[in-house]
Amino acid sequence: MPGIWGASLTGEGSLRQLLEGPGIVPAPGAADSITARIVAAAGFPAVYMTGFGATASRLGMPDIGLLSQTEMTEHARNMARAVSIPIIADADTGYGGPGNIDRTVHEYRQAGVAAIHLEDQVTPKRCGQLSGVRLMDADSSVKRLRCAIQARGSADLLIIGRTDALPAAGTAEAIRRARLYQDAGADLVFVDGIKRIEDLETVARAVDGPKVVSIVDGNETTTLTAADLQDLGFRVVLYAVTALFTATHAIAGALTHLKTAGTPAGGPAQHTYEEFSQLVAADFHKDLDDRFGS
């Protein structure tokens, strides 16, 4: 089975090629490696390693800056081993000062991801959909992005400048920061925390160049299709929590049925053992054992 351990380093180049194409790049979020494999099996061209999902899957906690750089890059490395499509990864704030940012860029690159986004919150950061976001000053954020770009050097890792200014300081400040991050050399910019179509359209009109949008389930922006977002000028759309929220709801339903009925029979639809085995490439490993085992 080709690509059983992923093809992450070639994934870097393929993301840039996708961005040079005519269509928007949809990247569903994956909280773990098995979800990343499901994203790839569904035919999506890229996957988003969401910090929200990583924190939930590893700790069962909210996304409030609890995971370290080491934990996040280990998570990215495991995901890159699992899939051959390019991975866009959450790198939070870079995990410290300039030296930490330099290391973060190198660690993510060695992990095999195709792109990272760095945000402009102060530590401890939090999910952009939560209240209480606190921003670092824009000049400091520009310097941190420039540090990341220098660390990237000639590698094909894409740097995305993310701002969480919209919920914290308003649309105008978010737009100002996005433009500053473009001027600093970010490959793409990402205004996070957009919940209303009106704000999304305002950002789309005001910010030229390659940009990322995140569509979060429960917000009115979910009524917009990928084609709508492409028409507005976005190059990448992240569906950060769709798979995670669907999975946790399905698990809760299955366990409620099991507790009530005393049997899994008759519960919610689920993969068969054979279907799941196919997802985790069991046949590949069986073939290895058959050919080379004692």
**pLDDT tens for each residue of 82-137:** 999 999 999 999 999 999 999 999 999 999 999 999 999 987 776 656 666 889 99
Q: What is the pLDDT of residues 16-34, one digit of tens each?
A: 999 999 999 999 999 999 9
What local confidence, expressed as pLDDT, does residue 133 receive?
82
Domain match, 142 and 210 both = yes
Determine the distance from the C-alpha atom of residue 103 to the mean position of all C-alpha atoms in its chain, rounded to a whole number. 20
Q: Which residues of 166-183 are buried (b: 16+ CB within 10 A; e: fewer)?
A: bbbbebeebbbbbbbbbe
pTM (2 d.p.):
0.93
Domain match, 142 and 278 both = no
Domain match, 39 and 178 both = yes
| Distances 30 to 38, 55, 168 between C-alpha atoms, Å | 9, 11, 26
| Total number of domains constituting the chain | 2
Domain match, 216 and 235 both = yes
Domain match, 167 and 225 both = yes
- Of 160, 176, 172, 173, which Cα lies nearest the Cα of 236? 160
Residue 168 within any structural domain of the chain: yes
Q: What is the pLDDT of residues 253-287, one digit of tens each?
A: 999 999 999 999 999 999 999 999 999 999 999 99
Average pLDDT on 151-165 reads: 96
Determine the distance from the C-alpha atom of residue 186 to the mean position of all C-alpha atoms in its chain, rounded to a whole number. 17
Residue with more model confidence, 6 or 72:
72
Residue 182 within any structural domain of the chain: yes
Residue 153 within any structural domain of the chain: yes
What local confidence, expressed as pLDDT, does residue 23 receive?
95
Domain match, 64 and 97 both = yes
Average pLDDT on 61-81 reads: 95
Q: Looking at 1-10, 39-48, 130-139, 250-259, which range is the least confident one?
A: 1-10
Per the prediction, the chain carries an average pLDDT of 93
Domain that holds residue 264: 250-292
What local confidence, expressed as pLDDT, does residue 294 receive?
80
pLDDT at residue 138 tops 60: yes
